[in-house]
Structure 1
Amino acid sequence: MSTGHVEYASLNGTHIFKLIGEVRAQSCISLDKLLGKIEMQSNIVGAIVDLTQTTFIDSTVLGILAKLGLKLKQIHHIQAVMLSTNSDITTLANSMGLGQVFVILNYCGDPNICTKALVDEHITQHNMLCTVLDAHRTLMKLNESNQNMFEPLVKQLEKEQDNLEQTTSTPQ
């Protein structure tokens, strides 16, 4: 289980996402749903992803963040800011291509930003599978290295998704 969580705040069109502790795929369902709502808003002026208290981040979370950065750039013509003080996290984010869609800054600010914890959504196998698959597809779009690295995983997840859909659509 994840020992980390995501917090969120918004003020005058600027959205702040704070990832705390070991943030893994389980924390992504709520974040992904929130991003879907945010991308439909017209008053977005900026976004900050605060990784200053992140001790671990998995590829699904990185994929969801990549999705945020891509959508902000494509739809709103905004380049989001990512704050990091952990060189391992910064290196990982850069190696996955997040530097293409975020301005990544080494930041040592106030850790007590006024955010509220996102409530974990009811996690179903289908929700988790869709979120993990979408996150890794997004990472694959960032660069060829990610494409090569995650293609086998995505193919396997697509097979699982097909099997799950067949199981749930077949009358018993």
Structure 2
Amino acid sequence: MSCGTIKFAEQDGTFVLKFIGEVRLTLCSALDATIQRMFNSSNFSSIVIDLTEAQSIDSTTLGLMAKLSILSRQKIGLLPTVVTTHPDITRLLNSMGFEQVFNIIDQPMTCPECLEDLPSQDQSEEVVKAKVLEAHRILMDLNESNREAFRDLVSALERN
């Protein structure tokens, strides 16, 4: 059994976790603490989980990955990206339904300079409506002029 490790990096609000080897329960306390640190960061903007060197991932780790996705959607409204090039790992993620809570890609990142924009998010009409409503409520809270300008729109969104 090979020992697993999780590497971590952050640059300009993008957090990268790289799982290497057999990632198991023994690494989960450190992973959970890192997840909390990421979401407490004031400049948090995205997450990439690189699984290109992972040999196996246990269910506890998968549960923490799902937690990470839920928190990401709550904090910034975006799904994290998972990079996997191993068919067994990809099959595991799909069997857990992770394609619904992560953007799963199969192209490894070769260097930080080669990063591209994250894939766009396919969101339901209800989710989009909630985001629009939230954004306009925030605008309304900024000043009285905005409150007047957006009152009718917010009222209409709240009724529907």
TM-score if structure 1 supplies the norm length? 0.61
1:63-74 equivalence runs, <5 A: 63-74=63-74
1:108 is aligned to 2:105: no
Alignment-mate amino acid for residue 37 of structure 1: R
Q: In structure 1, how many angstroms separate the alpha carbons of the residues matched to 2:72 and 2:28?
A: 18
Q: Which residue of 2 aligns with 1:4?
A: 4
Which aligned pairs between 1:83-122 and structure 2 lie closer than 5 A? 83-110=83-110
Question: Residue in 2 aligned with 1:137?
Answer: none
- 1:36-51 to 2 correspondence within 5 Å? 36-51=36-51
The farther-off stretch of 78-87 and 101-110 is: 101-110
> What is the distance in 2 between the residues matched to 1:24 and 1:44?
26
Residue pair 1:84, 1:106 contacting (<8 A) in 2 also? yes
Q: 2:150 corresponds to which residue?
A: none
Query: In structure 2, what is the Cα distance between the partners aligned to 1:4 and 1:55?
Result: 9
1:42-92 deviation line (CA, Å, top 9, x unaligned):
321111000000011111111111111110011221211000000110111
Instruction: Quote the RMSD (CA, aligned, Å).
Output: 2.0
Q: How many residues align?
A: 113
State how far apart, in whole Å, the 1-side matches of 2:111 and 2:56 are. 17
Aligned AA for 1:35? Answer: I
- The DSSP-based 3-state class of the residue aligned with 1:20 is strand
Name the aligned partner's letter for residue 23 of structure 2: V
1:80-125, CA deviations, whole angstroms, 9 ceiling, x for partnerless residues?
1000000110111111122121100012333899xxxxxxxxxxxx
The residue type paired with residue 18 of structure 2 is: K
CA distance, structure 2, for counterparts of residue 49 and residue 55 of structure 1: 14
Deviations 1:10-65 (A, max 9, x none): 00000000000011110111110111121122321111000000011111111111
User: What secondary structure does 2:110 align onto?
Assistant: coil
Larger radius of gyration: 2
Measure, in 1, the Cα distance between the counterparts of 2:86 and 2:74.
Answer: 28
Determine helix, strand or coil for the equivalent of 1:92. helix
Distance in 1, Cα, partners of 2:84 & 2:50: 7
Contact 1:6/1:20, CA 8 A, preserved across alignment: yes
Distance 1:86 1:92 in 2: 10
Mind listing any 5+ residue stretches in structure 2 that lack a counterpart?
Answer: 114-160
Distance 2:37 2:14 in 1: 14
Q: Which amino acid aligns with 1:34?
A: T
Quick one: structure 1 residues 96 and 111, their matched pair in 2 at CA, closer, same or farther if it must change by over 3 Å?
Answer: farther
Task: Among all aligned residue pairs of Structure 1 and Structure 2, give the percentage whose two residues are the same amino acid.
Answer: 38
